[in-house]
Amino acid sequence: MNIQNFFGHLNNVITHRYMVFKFCCRVGIPLQGLTHDLSKFTPAEFIPSVQHFQGTSSPIGAERREKGYSEAWLHHKARNKHHWEYWVEFRDDGSEYYVKMPMNYLKEMLCDWLSAGKTYNRSTWQSHYPLQYFTKHESYYKLHPETKAFALKVLHMFADRGEEETLSWLAGQKDY
């Protein structure tokens, strides 16, 4: 295991979790912020992530490019309800059903997205990046229509009005 990758990945995870914690506190879900992504420290996620660490993007993508899938991601998304993938049900007939995410997990997901962008684009990050990223990859996100509409509203607000106003507004939201 490469020692630079080990400490680089560890630094990214800790930085990301700290930012998510701060955002979660600001939107009224501090306990979720405190426990956010703890599964990243399990061997099932940590070891492959260190092996595929590049520093500028998630190691999940690198593992997928190498193997065609990511063991770390399969483990992670099954244990963390703040990921939209957790809320997709695959039916016996091959169809998919998108469950409306509970507000507390939707808030955590948004805090996660904002923090991930800041973590991987530390020196160049701008408030419109999360919306730009979502828009560019919109077909990838399989969200319940109400969940998607709310997430887009928050991303637009973040791009247009900034962090302070958006997180203050989000803190007051109990349902959508």
pLDDT at 122 over 80: no
pLDDT at 23 over 90: yes
Q: Is residue 176 part of a domain?
A: no
pLDDT band, residue 129 (cuts 50/70/90) = very high
Q: Is residue 23 part of a domain?
A: yes
- Domain limits for position 87: 3-171
pLDDT of residue 143: 97
Kindly report whether the global pTM for this prediction surpasses the value 0.75: yes
Least confident of 51-65, 113-127, 148-162: 113-127
Residue range 128-135: mean pLDDT, rounded: 94
Least confident of 124-128, 162-166, 167-171: 124-128
What does the H/E/C string look like for 50-97? HHCCCCCCCHHHHHHHHHCCCHHHHHHHCCCCCCHHHHEEECCCCCEE
DSSP state of 168: H
pLDDT of residue 1: 73
What tens digit of pLDDT does each residue of 42-101 get?
Answer: 999 999 999 999 988 889 999 999 999 999 999 999 999 999 999 999 999 999 999 999
**Kind of pairing, strands 96-98 and 88-90?**
antiparallel
pLDDT of residue 121: 79
CB atoms within 10 A of CB 41: 12
Domain count, the chain: 1
From the number of C-beta atoms within 10 Å of its C-beta (0-12, 13-18, 19+), residue 126 rates as exposed
pLDDT band, residue 175 (cuts 50/70/90) = very high
pLDDT of residue 120: 76
Residue range 32-46: mean pLDDT, rounded: 98
pLDDT of residue 57: 81
Q: Is residue 114 part of a domain?
A: yes
CA dist., res. 120 & res. 114, Å (int)? 10
pLDDT of residue 170: 98
